Each structure stands twice: as C-alpha cells, then as structure tokens.
Structure 1
Amino acid sequence: MKYFKIGWVLLLIMAVAACGRKKGKPRQQEIVKNIRQLDEVVPAQISERLEYIAGNEGMMEDSVPALRLTALQFAYGRHQGAALWSKNGRAGSGVDSMMQWINAAGNYGLNPAHYHAGALNDARERFKAGKEAQKDAALWAKMDVLLTDAFFKMAHHLHYGVAPRDSVTLRKDSLLSDTALSGLLQTALQNGGISAALQQQEPFHPGYLALKEGVHQYQQQYGGIHWDTLPQQYYDTLQFKQQLAARLIKTGQLDSAGFIVTDSVKLKNAVKKFQKEFNIYPDGVAGKRTIQTLNKQPQDWLLQAALNLDRWRKLPDTLPGRYLLVNIPAFRLNVMEDTANVVESRVIVGTPRTRTPILNSVMTNFVLYPYWRVPYSIVFKEMLPQIKKDVNYLYEKNLEVVDHHGNVVSPDSIEWGKLGRNHFPYVLRQMDGLDNSLGILKFNFSNKFSVYLHDTNNRSLFSNSNRALSHGCVRVQQWDSLAMYMIRNDPRPEMRDSVRTWLHNEEQRVYSMTNRLPIYIRYFTAEMREGRLQFYEDVYGEDKTLEKYFR
C-alpha cells in the first residue's frame, strides 16, 4: 500500500505539471481479465483524466468544463487516487441517487448537460448491456470523474447559482472550497446521503421554494407541449381567430366547451385574461407584444423561471426578519415581515436608458415636502437647452437656482448662454409642494447611485401596465402606507399624529427612523404568485444576458 500511495502522488504531480500542455483524450477502453483487478487499474485511468483536464483548460472529455481541476485533484489525492463511486466493478449506492439529481436538474432550474448527463447515461447503459463493459477500467474511471465533477458543480450551482456574481450579489461565503467540496462528497457517499447533501445547498427563502414548486408544476403541465406559432401581426380573419383560440385553449385562458370562433366577445375576454397574466395592457387585442408572448414555447418560460431561481441563490443565506423588496420587472414594492407581506405598492422604475440600479441598503429616514435637487445628467440633457430658449421654463417647472454657497440666485442675473457641461456653478432645485416631481414624501437610503423612493406629482402613470418611466428613482404609489408602517413601532406614541399633522399643514420635516429598514432592489422576471407562475417583461434585457450560462 505504501508504494501504491507513492505511485499515486507521482501521477498527481505529473497531472499538475501537464497543465497548459494540450493533451489528447485519455484511453477510452482498458479491459481487465478479472473484475477484481479494477481497483488496481482504475486509479491510473483516473490520473489520465485529470491530466487531460489540466492540459485542456479545464475541459473534460465529454467537452463539458469541470467546475475546478483543483477540487478534483484534492478529492482523489485524499483517497490515493482510488475510485470514489465504485469498488471492483460494482457501483456504489450514491450513483443512482446522483443520476436522479442530474436527470431531474430541470426541476431546479439547472441544465442536465452541465452535469455530464449524456456521457453518464451512456456509460450506465453500456454497463447494463454486457459483461465486457463491466471489466472496462477506462469506462469506470470516466464515470467516476464525471460523477465527482457533477456533484461538485451541482452543489456549487445550487448554493451560489450558475451565473457569475457581481459586486452587489457577492457574498462573503462566495466559494465552496476544495476541502469543503471533498468533505461534503465523502460524507454523502459514506452515509448514503447524496440527496440530503445537495438539498442542504439550496436557499430556504420562501420566494425561492415557491418558484421552484411553480417550475415543477409548469413542467408537469406544459413540459411536453409545443404549440403552433401565430403570425406576427393580427389579422381579422376566421383562420387567425381559429389559431388564436387554439393557442389560448392550451394554456387555459379560453374554455373550449361550447366555444365558436365567431364569438368575438368570448375570444376578446380570453385575450384580456392572457394579457393580465403577462402584465400586458388588457385591451383584448392580439397586438404585436401579445402575439410575441403567445408564441413563446414552454421551454422558453421554464428557462426564464430558471434564471430567477438563480437570482434567488445570489441573495444571502438568511434575510432580515423584515425588509423592503423592490422587484423592478414586476413594478412592485413589498415590505416583508416574518415572511408576511405587510405593505404592497405599485411602483414606477427607471427606463431602459436610465435604469433603476440593483442594490442593497438600509432605509434611514423620510422627508415630507422635500426639495428635489435636479441631477446634472437631467440638467444638461433636458433642462438647460429649454432654459436657454426661455428662462421662464424655470418658473413653469417650479425650479430655483442655488449657487455653491447655498444662496438662491435670480435666473435673470445669469448669462445662460455661457453655461454648459464644463461650466455650471449652480444647482437647480425644485421647490416643495404638490408640483414637486418628488411629490409629498421622499424615502432616503445610502447608495452610490443617488436614487431613492418617493411620491410623484404624476400619479396617473401608476395605471400603466409598463411602468419603466423614471430617471432611475423608484416612485411609490402607496407612499403614505409605507410611511405609516415605518413609524408604527416608534417608541414615541405621539409621532403618528405628528406626521399626520405635518402632512396636513404641508410642513417640510425629516423623520429619522428608530428601527431602520433593510432594502433590496432586485430584478425578478418570474415568481410564484397567487398559486401560479407569473412572468414579467425583461424590461432591461437582463434575462438575455444571463441565458448564455444556461444553454
């Protein structure tokens, strides 16, 4: 055994030394005379495969990249190069469990191909087909290394997600170390607990668990269905109405019982129902956007749900007991307290050109009847050209000019034609009151983007189905409910009445919160809501950016 250990160490050193040197694929067959010889021959075959990965930029022999070569090297080095998943030609109990996870990866928003599903299913079929394959050391080694990488990769993906993390979603525990992965696998194989080990890596957030259940239900209902696509524009013909009705029947918006194509009212109501479910203005007309949404296949929707499971995995393992969540594509704000939804409001978010940023912060105070300091990006792009045409623009927009000393300056005393992006020693400030773009109340939280939550003086926009309309800040329809929630636990019992009085008297006041409220602004285009999967438009194109990691 001593010489065997020394030999394995030498093989491992050779594999590491091969890094950067292009290697041909390892031997695909090595038949032993006796199955009992497999445990002696398989380690050398495993070493060949590690050497191949090292020399091919982390790519495995089935052309799927490994999670990390160092993790594989550590796991096999820890066991002197021996197979982890089999012994003398007999698969361990963990193989069946791991294969079930791989083949059911879609239930978790994962792609089975990322976990070597094709190569592993092929290897298992070959083992079942004949005794010669059962004596093939190369095949056992191939299956072993692929299974080990599949376990490592799935554990990592379930915990941290498939897509790369950014500066906002980066977590302190941003990596399952080689030691942690190896220990997790060793414990799982020894205790027959592959499923338990992988389940423990998943988030426990209610939103994640509900979305995962929605994915499973959707797969059962629509997974094997493919519907015909509709023409790209509406045609008022019998044929088009038949196609439209057939499509709506498949997803339950239209009841086929007793329906006739000439029943325009019933068909229009079915289109409205579909539009409401997909956050499209419910006019009952199958316009361009409605048809595009109707034409998306079940696999497209499942992929969209998978992207959002991945987004949940980017959140911390534990969320605060209460927090505020803004979901940009849903145009909605929720305050959660012990998993209960205590405040909900429609919101208006930034346009695709002036996006509301993804961020984490803590709400500290709110301001009644606030001034609005106009961002310079808006000053130079929108306001200064108008002011140069007519200085009365400032009066029409209720704007005052403030110098760097904080003094209000008369607009008529300024030579506006000489001002521009490179020279503008003023601040434009919109005065408080009902005409203020911030409305009656502004909620402040620290962030580098200078955005905040606020009321608006254009409240009619909350009735729009697409509410990506702002310069980046989040406008809140139920601002008063949010304010009252924030002061409800104030130790000063008179504070609630005080705030009401300030509002009535239109006083400019600042309320500093005694219990600060964590805030998360996030981007979820799918969620489980009211017992069914709800999808939202990818308003900023973020889904398209992520899709490449899931194909």
Structure 2
Amino acid sequence: MKKLYFFLAICIFIGCKKEEPKIIPIVKKKAPAIILTDERSVEIDTAIIGSYKSETLKQFYNSSENKTVWGNLKKRTYVLSQLQNSDKLGLEPEDYKASQLQKFEKRIGSLSDKDLATYDILLTYNFEKYLNHLFKGKLDPKKLYTDWDLDEKILDVNDVLIKAFNKNKLDSIVDNIQPKSETYKELLKALEIIDTFPDDNIEKITTDSLTKKISLNESNAALINIKKRLLFWGDMTGKDSLTTIYNKKTFESIKKFQERHGLASDGVIGQGTIRELNYSKEKRKQQIIANLERWRWFTTDFAENYFIINIPDYSLNVVEVQDTTLVRNIVVGTSKRKTPIITSTLRTVVFNPTWTVPPTILKEDVVPAMKRNRNYLANKNITIYDTSGNVVEPNSWNENKPNNYRYVQSPGYTNSLGVMKILFPNHHSVYLHDTNHRNYFGRSNRSLSSGCVRIENPLELAEHILNDTVRFSKVKIDTIIASKKTVSFKITKKYALYQWYWTAWSKKNQLIFRADIYNLDSDLYAKLRD
C-alpha cells in the first residue's frame, strides 16, 4: 500500500510539474565600453549609483569606469528634449524628472563635481527608463490582467544606448525602439490630431427628452448640443442654425460620425450614438494614450503571414507578405466572458466539429435550462455521457451532480461551433469557429460569445489557408461538410495569430474610435498616471 501511495504522489508531482512554465534564464552580456570625449568629466561615488538599486545603471557606469558621460552639450540637449517632449508620444515628462533635469542644465557651468555626478546619473537613469517605456510600455500586462498571454519583451537598454552614444547616433534610438506597426504610427498621428482641437466646453447631451430614437426631420431639444458636438469634431462643417430640427445636413453628419465610431451608419440617433458623442476631448485623448501603452506590450516583429484580430472592432484581417488578403467580421466574448489576448500560431482546421459543453456554460446556462426542461439538451442535439462513456437519458440525469457527466453536441450545421473550427495553442481553451447564430454578423455590437471568436463565412477562410486547390477546393470542402464526419487537417502554411485589443487609431487624418467593450481604457490610463 505504501508503494501505491508513493507512486500516486510521484504521478501528481509530475502532472503538476507539466503545468509549470519553463523559465528561460536571461544571460546578460557585458555592456560595451563608453567612449568619452574631452568634455568635463568627473569621478562618481559608486555609493550614489548603488542608492538607485539598479543593476542596469551600475553596469552602465562600469562601462565608463564610473565617470560622468554627458559632458557633450549636443547629446545632453537631445536627451533633455526627448524627456521634455515625451508627452508627444503619450508619456508623462515628470515620470522622467524633466523639470528637475532642466534646473540642473541651467546651472551646468557652476555645478560642483558632486552635483555634476548627480545630474549625470539622473540623465542616464531617466533616459533609460524612457527607452524601456517606449519599447515595452510603462506597465506589465501580466500584472494587470489574468487573460493576457503575451511574451515578455526583453531590451538590453545599455547595449542600445551605449552603441548609439559611441556612434553619435542618439537621435536614431527613439524611432528605432518603438513599435513598427502601422496602427501604432496611426495612434501617434491620432495624438497629434487631437492636440489640434481646442478645449471643449460643450454641455453633456442629456437623454431626458430622448424617449425614443431621433429620426430625420423630427424635433428634439437634445439636437442643439448634438449639433455643437458634430461641429466640434468636424463631422459637420460650416455653420448651422442650431435649431432643434433634425435636418438633412445633420443627418449626413451623424452618419459620418457613426461610421468613425464603428456604429451602424443609419443616421438614426439612439443611446449608442449619444454615448459616443458625449466623450470629451480629454477622455478621447486619454483613450489614445491608453492604446499607445497597449501597443507597446505587443510584439514588435510580425510574422510573414498572420491573422490579426481587433476585438473591439469585431474584425479579423489575414495578412500575407504585408498584403491584406482577407477581411472577416467576427463575434467576440461578452464583458463577462471576455475573449483573451493571445499571440499564438494556427495549427489545425477541424471540419464538422463536435462541441463539448464547457464548465462555465454548463453552470450558468445548461443546468438552469435542464432543471426547467429535461429535453433542453436533446432539442439541441446534445448527448449526455456518464463517466464510463454510457449514454444517459435526460430523465435519468442527476441535477444535483451535473459535473459527473460529459455533454457533447453532434456535428452539423446547427452545432454551436458551426461546421468548422481553427485550433491554436493557448491556455484558455479558445479557438476560432463558425457559429449556428449566423445572423449575429449583421449587428454593429458583436460582443456576444462565450470567449471564442466566431468568424463570418469560415469555409472560404478554410479554403484560403489550407492552400491546396486539389484537396481543399470549394467542392471538396462542401463534400466533407455534407458527410457530417469530424475530420482534422494540419495547416501547412505558417500563420501567426495576434488576438489583440485596441479602441483608437487614425485614418486619412481622421480620428477613429471603437467602443471600449471590456472597459479597459479608463482604468489603464489612471494606472499610467499613478
């Protein structure tokens, strides 16, 4: 018996160990030596360096033999300028002691050796902090969110800084270290654009008088402030009489506004349109800054071929060799069952998948429904199995022990996963799939799933990525679907998957926004400014 217990303990230990992520040690290479010029340089007391408790800072000054390095006015001016203007990149200058550094600079000619050393250390410490924030963000997403699976970004900031310092190319660092994606560049442009708007002092649009949606030619008191906001954002141009009549000019302006915000551009003014109109300039700017931070968390190096999903935009783009080859509408998770943030690689296409009811849906949806109607699962073509794999009739199902069973939906057009799913490695048991609710794609708000991403017209997508006109032509795929047999095929062409979240960008000098469906932007901005 003791041997049996020992064997079981070993098995449990091994099973748990498999769940442990592998820790890859980071081997820090020695930083290159700093080439000093003949400007004023003084010895630095290593105790002052040590007081910062920064191994990076210690290694930096080891490379200068613990001497000050910022004697060159041009280099110093560049660093000071970057930190002072870091708000142009969505950062906060005082995070980098910009004011304090400027005070030191004004007294540079009269600084004692000790003050010069302090100034030098502050320049290095804060410029390296700034570079790190530009490269991988100020905050760590893994400490903020439990459902964000992103690889940690590693930067050898000393190596980058010292090489640029020695080659007199400091001005190339900031551009080179930031994300290269077009969306990130569009976000920086959005920040530039919004700074051109004046401060807004327009009253909030109240919905007291909005008992129903406002349609063309109707009258409503709320229209005066609606028109003011349309004029402010530039969706309506010229002058307007600011009457309470919903005229044609305002109607066309509302459609333009709705399109910029991902709403149904039907010109009908409802609660969704009012909510977006009520965003102030300051709130929109904060949203842009939050999105810039988020993009710094994402990978810098995109794969040659990839799927990129923007969760709040309900969109999937297939990009191959820098060319967008397919675009699809998608349905994503609700705020209670969020679609996770994932970077992964597509592996397998499964046609005619079965669907096993997951624990959350079992608890929140299936069990209550089964208690009301024992034929609930049978009506959805879901079979109940006991732990031995035997079929359990609905009337024999024990409602007090629902977790003792497995619930499997048979393949078919009405299966919850539809007729296809795409698998990729992740820790959340999510995948891309078809749906039996195909009418959802016509909605503007598509935050409706239980966490997985549902794709419109998925069989065309499967044909595209399987990339074999003989084995996987449209006719062959239709034949597979008609068989209702579950079959899997490996995706031989390598596609990365970027399942990410951003709610702001710009396009053709226009600000573009999407509803923050998971309420992440305000909280993230607040944490950035803590």
- The counterpart of 1:261, out of the listed 232, 243, 257, is 243
- The counterpart of 2:111, out of the listed 132, 136, 141, is 136
Instruction: Give the Cα separation in 1 of the matches to 2:158 and 2:453.
Output: 45
- The counterpart of 1:79, out of the listed 59, 64, 89, is 64
Instruction: Give the Cα separation in 1 of the matches to 2:256 and 2:201.
Output: 19
1:98 touches 1:147 (CA, 8 Å); kept in 2?
Answer: yes
- The counterpart of 2:85, out of the listed 97, 104, 108, is 104
Instruction: Give the Cα separation in 1 of the matches to 2:409 and 2:202.
Output: 54
Instruction: Give the Cα separation in 1 of the matches to 2:357 and 2:87.
Output: 47
- The counterpart of 2:177, out of the listed 192, 195, 201, is 201
Instruction: Give the Cα separation in 2 of the matches to 1:550 and 1:120.
Output: 22
- The counterpart of 1:164, out of the listed 140, 143, 146, is 140
Deviation of 1:482 after TM superposition, in Å, equals 1.1
Instruction: Give the Cα separation in 1 of the matches to 2:402 and 2:472.
Output: 49
Tell me the equivalent position of 1:113: 94
Deviation string for 1:435-490 (max 9, x for gaps)? 22222222222323221111111122222222111111111113122112112x32
Unpaired segments ≥5 residues, structure 1: 1-35, 59-67, 128-132
Deviation of 1:277 after TM superposition, in Å, equals 1.6
Within 5 Å, give how 1:467-478 maps onto structure 2. Answer: 467-478=446-457
1:490 touches 1:514 (CA, 8 Å); kept in 2?
Answer: no
1:366 touches 1:512 (CA, 8 Å); kept in 2?
Answer: yes
1:233 touches 1:287 (CA, 8 Å); kept in 2?
Answer: no
Aligned pair in 2 of structure 1 residues 254, 203: CA closer, same or farther (>3 Å)?
same
Within 5 Å, give how 1:285-434 maps onto structure 2. Answer: 287-412=270-395, 414-421=396-403, 424=404, 426-434=405-413
For residue 514 of structure 1, give the secondary structure of its aligned residue in structure 2. Answer: coil
Aligned pair in 2 of structure 1 residues 308, 216: CA closer, same or farther (>3 Å)?
same
Instruction: Give the Cα separation in 1 of the matches to 2:286 and 2:118.
Output: 30
Aligned pair in 2 of structure 1 residues 346, 120: CA closer, same or farther (>3 Å)?
same
- The counterpart of 1:544, out of the listed 504, 522, 528, is 522
Instruction: Give the Cα separation in 1 of the matches to 2:432 and 2:40.
Output: 66
Aligned pair in 2 of structure 1 residues 474, 530: CA closer, same or farther (>3 Å)?
farther
Deviation string for 1:314-356 (max 9, x for gaps)? 2333221101122211111111111211111111111111111
1:442 touches 1:453 (CA, 8 Å); kept in 2?
Answer: yes
Within 5 Å, give how 1:222-237 maps onto structure 2. Answer: 222=197, 224-233=198-207, 235=209
Report sequence identity in percent: 27
2:190 touches 2:511 (CA, 8 Å); kept in 1?
Answer: yes
Tell me the equivalent position of 1:485: 464
Aligned pair in 2 of structure 1 residues 381, 241: CA closer, same or farther (>3 Å)?
closer
Within 5 Å, give how 1:6-155 maps onto structure 2. Answer: 39=41, 43=44, 50=49, 54=51, 58=52, 69-86=54-71, 92-124=73-105, 126-127=106-107, 134-137=109-112, 140-155=116-131
Deviation string for 1:215-273 (max 9, x for gaps)? 33343x32x53342414435478874333212211111112346552541332442343
Deviation string for 1:190-217 (max 9, x for gaps)? 4332211222212223332333333333
2:309 touches 2:499 (CA, 8 Å); kept in 1?
Answer: yes
Instruction: Give the Cα separation in 2 of the matches to 1:38 and 1:387.
Output: 81
Amino acid in the other structure paired with 1:512: K
Instruction: Give the Cα separation in 2 of the matches to 1:388 and 1:187.
Output: 69
| TM-score normalised according to structure 1 size | 0.78
Unpaired segments ≥5 residues, structure 2: 1-37, 143-147, 211-218
1:520 aligns with 2:480: no
Deviation of 1:504 after TM superposition, in Å, equals 5.1
Stretch of structure 1 that moved more, 109-118 or 139-148: 139-148
Amino acid in the other structure paired with 1:327: N
Tell me the equivalent position of 1:444: 423
For residue 364 of structure 2, give the secondary structure of its aligned residue in structure 1. Answer: helix
Amino acid in the other structure paired with 1:387: M
1:325 touches 1:334 (CA, 8 Å); kept in 2?
Answer: yes
1:246 aligns with 2:228: yes
Aligned pair in 2 of structure 1 residues 329, 449: CA closer, same or farther (>3 Å)?
same
For residue 113 of structure 1, give the secondary structure of its aligned residue in structure 2. Answer: helix
Instruction: Give the Cα separation in 1 of the matches to 2:275 and 2:115.
Output: 46
2:207 touches 2:222 (CA, 8 Å); kept in 1?
Answer: no
Instruction: Give the Cα separation in 2 of the matches to 1:530 and 1:472.
Output: 33
Stretch of structure 1 that moved more, 309-318 or 527-536: 527-536
Stretch of structure 1 that moved more, 235-244 or 264-273: 235-244
Deviation of 1:93 after TM superposition, in Å, equals 1.0
Instruction: Give the Cα separation in 1 of the matches to 2:476 and 2:220.
Output: 64
Within 5 Å, give how 1:457-468 maps onto structure 2. Answer: 457-468=436-447
RMSD: 3.0
Deviation string for 1:263-289 (max 9, x for gaps)? 413324423432332224556465555
Amino acid in the other structure paired with 1:342: T
1:162 touches 1:549 (CA, 8 Å); kept in 2?
Answer: no
1:188 aligns with 2:164: yes
Q: Which structure has the larger Rg?
A: 1
Aligned pair in 2 of structure 1 residues 183, 389: CA closer, same or farther (>3 Å)?
closer
1:230 touches 1:244 (CA, 8 Å); kept in 2?
Answer: no
